[in-house]
Amino acid sequence: MSLTTMTFFERFESDILAGKKTITIRDESECDYAAGSTVDVSTYEDGRWFCRLQIKSVTPIQFKELTDFHAQQENMSLQQLKQVISEIYPNVSQLFVIDYQLVD
């Protein structure tokens, strides 16, 4: 069964709503999204709903394969991206790039 909701830290909300952040990188526990599906998005901290996203694709990637292109889609530098991922998913090498677009 594919996931129908997604959470983001509040600090990413404005970038998502402005279309500056167009992917998210998650671990295996959060990769079961179906391409073409629409998910409700809320803040991780307090569960406040703030938009809906359409999932375009879910692609496996190794941490070491992350590039400047991924960082650009996350609206940060590659160094910042790797640091954030390492803090959220310490010692995880298998990740998933979830490409999405803002619906409303």
- Is the distance from CB of 26 to CB of 39 less than 8 angstroms? no
Could you confirm whether 74 is annotated as catalytic? yes
Contact 24/41 with Cβ under 8 angstroms? no
Tokens of 86: 């390492």
Catalytic residue list contains 20: no
Q: Which of 4, 5, 56, 74 is catalytic?
A: 74
Find the catalytic residue in 24, 45, 65, 87: 24
Catalytic residue among 4, 20, 21, 59: 21
Cα torsion 90, 47, 15, 39 to 10°: value is 90
Active site residues: 21, 24, 74
